[in-house]
């Protein structure tokens, strides 16, 4: 990702100095290669870091070299880590912005980046940040907000992906071939975009009508589903956790409401 960031900045005519933990990486780019991280930091008022995790961020950054500069961290991590990093930056006289690259694309109209932190700092560098993605979105002063947004989306993605692979395991256990299942699975997944809009509207209005489907009906279906999974000797951890949430909602008197009620319980 560092290569993509450097390439996008150069393409927008921003003089760029790069440093990589692996010597020789990036020598083919039209950038100035620094021998050390402090040397790269000293070359610009805006410093962009994108490495594996926050532990690596702390390992490569030099607080003294960064003092008085702006640090944009595109590494990605938890909201807590982003807020702690912002506190560290403030303690060392460093302006800080946290950012997330949502779709793995940097530069051009398809890039999707989120930023959070000081609005004043964001606006000061907004023209430069446009090189990374012209559709970048500023989410607010809380430095952990972009990470929170990203974690929410990753929650959706990975929970869905576990559901996909688990469905294929269950199908195989019931002697259903992967190609037999895939078309029907895609048709069912195609319902999700509209359902996401429905849940968002219900949560936003604090109204959870059960005309289309109720938590009671979901409870009955989940009983059959978990029984089937267990009968085939498969892991039912995720489904059992969901069933437990549904049972709690029913016990709390929400059985006749829509499934979206679970988003606020």
CATH for 149-264 is 1.10.1040.10
Cα gap 43→65, rounded to integer Å: 10
Judge whether 74 and 101 are in contact, CB under 8 Å: yes
Choose among 57, 155, 55, 146: nearest CA to 102.
146
Ranges of CATH 3.40.50.720 domains, the chain: 2-141
Ranges of CATH 1.10.1040.10 domains, the chain: 149-264
Q: Is the dihedral of CA 242, 176, 231, 213 positive or negative?
A: positive
Cα gap 12→109, rounded to integer Å: 13
pLDDT tens, residue by residue, 138-194: 999 999 999 999 999 999 999 999 999 999 999 999 999 999 999 999 999 999 999
Fold observed for domain 2-141: Rossmann fold (3.40.50)
Judge whether 49 and 72 are in contact, CB under 8 Å: yes
Q: Residue 72's beta-bridge partner residues?
A: 48, 97
Cα gap 112→82, rounded to integer Å: 19
Choose among 181, 166, 142: nearest CA to 225.
166
**pLDDT bracket for residue 236 (50, 70, 90):** very high
- The predicted pLDDT at position 24 comes to 72
Judge whether 18 and 29 are in contact, CB under 8 Å: yes
pTM: 0.90
pLDDT tens, residue by residue, 53-86: 999 999 999 999 999 999 999 998 999 999 999 9
Judge whether 257 and 208 are in contact, CB under 8 Å: yes
Q: Cβ contacts of residue 193 below 8 Å, gap of 6+?
A: none
Cα gap 169→182, rounded to integer Å: 12
Residue 260 carries which DSSP code?
G
C-alpha angle 164/166/171, rounded to 5°? 95
Cα gap 132→110, rounded to integer Å: 10
Judge whether 87 and 73 are in contact, CB under 8 Å: no
- The predicted pLDDT at position 25 comes to 74
3-state secondary structure at position 12: coil
């Amino acid at each position: 990702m560092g290569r993509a960031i450097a390439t996008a900045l150069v393409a927008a005519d921003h003089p760029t100095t790069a440093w990589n933990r692996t010597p020789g990486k990036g020598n083919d780019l039209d950038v100035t290669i620094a021998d050390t991280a402090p040397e790269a930091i000293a070359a610009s008022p805006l410093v962009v870091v994108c490495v594996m995790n926050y532990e690596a961020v702390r390992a490569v950054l030099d607080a003294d070299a960064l003092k008085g500069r702006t640090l944009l961290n595109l590494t990605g991590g938890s909201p807590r880590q982003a807020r702690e990093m912002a506190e560290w930056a403030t303690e060392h006289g460093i302006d800080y912005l946290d950012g997330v690259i949502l779709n793995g694309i940097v530069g051009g109209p398809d890039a999707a980046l989120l930023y959070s932190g000081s609005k004043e700092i964001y606006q000061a560098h907004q023209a430069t940040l446009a090189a990374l993605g012209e559709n970048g979105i500023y989410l607010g002063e809380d430095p952990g907000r972009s990470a929170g947004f990203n974690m929410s989306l990753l929650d959706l993605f990975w929970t869905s992906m576990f559901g996909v692979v688990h469905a294929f395991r269950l199908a195989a256990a019931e002697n259903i071939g992967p190609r037999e299942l895939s078309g029907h699975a895609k048709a069912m997944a195609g319902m999700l975009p509209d359902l996401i809009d429905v849940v968002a509207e219900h949560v936003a209005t604090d109204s959870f009508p059960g005309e289309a489907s109720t938590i009671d009906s979901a409870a009955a279906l989940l009983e059959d589903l978990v029984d089937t999974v267990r009968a085939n000797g498969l892991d039912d951890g995720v489904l059992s956790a969901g069933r437990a949430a549904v049972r709690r909602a029913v016990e709390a008197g929400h059985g006749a409401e829509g499934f979206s009620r679970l988003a606020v319980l």
